[in-house]
Amino acid sequence: MKAQQSGGRVERDTLGEMEVPADAYYGASTARAIRNFPISGLRFPRPFIYALGMIKRAAAEVNMELGLLDRRVGQAVVQAAQEVAAGRFDEHFPIDIYQTGSGTSTNTNANEVIANRASEILGAARGSKTVHPNDHVNMCQSSNDVIPTAIHLAARLQIRQVLRPALEELARSLAAKAKAFYPIVKTGRTHLMDATPIRLGQEFEGYAGQVERALHRLAQAEEDLGEVPLGGTAVGTGINAHPEFAARACARISELTGVAIRETTNHFQAQACLDALVFASGALRSYATGLMKIANDIRWMGSGPRAGLAELQLPAVQPGSSIMPGKVNPVIAESVIQVCAQVQGNDLVVALGNQWGFFELNTMMPVMAHNLLASIALLAAASQNFATQCIDGLVATDRGPALVEQGLMLATALAPAIGYDKAAEIAKAAAATGRTIREIARERSGLSEAQLQELLNAEEMTAPGLKGSGGGG
**Does residue 447 have a pLDDT over 90?**
yes
Domains present along the chain, CATH in parentheses: 2-139 (1.10.275.10), 151-229+268-398 (1.20.200.10), 405-462 (1.10.40.30)
Query: What pLDDT, on the 0 to 100 scale, is given for residue 7?
Result: 75
Query: What pLDDT, on the 0 to 100 scale, is given for residue 467?
Result: 67
pLDDT category at 470 given cuts 50, 70, 90 is very low
pLDDT tens column, 451-465: 999 999 999 999 998
Q: What is the C-alpha to C-alpha distance for residues 158 and 376, in angstroms, rounded to an integer? A: 7
Pick the catalytic residue from 40, 173, 191, 375: 191
Pick the catalytic residue from 29, 119, 143, 321: 321
Query: What pLDDT, on the 0 to 100 scale, is given for residue 325?
Result: 79
Q: Output phi, psi for 3, to 5 deg.
A: -65, 160
Tell me whether residue 92 is one of the annotated catalytic residues. no
**Does residue 90 have a pLDDT over 90?**
yes
The per-residue pLDDT of the chain, averaged, comes to 95
- 257-294 burial, b at 16+ Cβ within 10 Å, e below that, comes to bebebebbeebebbbbbbebbbbbbebbbbbbebbbeb
Element containing residue 197 per DSSP (H, E): strand 193-199
What does the pLDDT average to over 67-74? 98
What residues form DSSP beta bridges with 19? 10
- 98-116 burial, b at 16+ Cβ within 10 Å, e below that, comes to ebbbbbbbbbbbbbbbbbb
- Collapsing DSSP to helix, strand or coil, 50 comes out as helix
**Does residue 219 have a pLDDT over 80?**
yes
Tell me whether residue 383 is one of the annotated catalytic residues. no
Element containing residue 227 per DSSP (H, E): strand 227-228
pLDDT tens column, 407-437: 999 999 999 999 999 999 999 999 999 999 9
Query: What pLDDT, on the 0 to 100 scale, is given for residue 6?
Result: 53
Q: What is the C-alpha to C-alpha distance for residues 382 and 392, in angstroms, rounded to an integer? A: 14
Q: What is the C-alpha to C-alpha distance for residues 103 and 126, in angstroms, rounded to an integer? A: 24
Q: What is the C-alpha to C-alpha distance for residues 437 and 400, in angstroms, rounded to an integer? A: 17
pLDDT tens column, 43-66: 999 999 999 999 999 999 999 999
Query: What pLDDT, on the 0 to 100 scale, is given for residue 471?
Result: 40
Please give the span between the terminal C-alpha atoms of the chain, in angstroms, as a whole number.
Answer: 91
CB atoms within 10 A of CB 117: 24
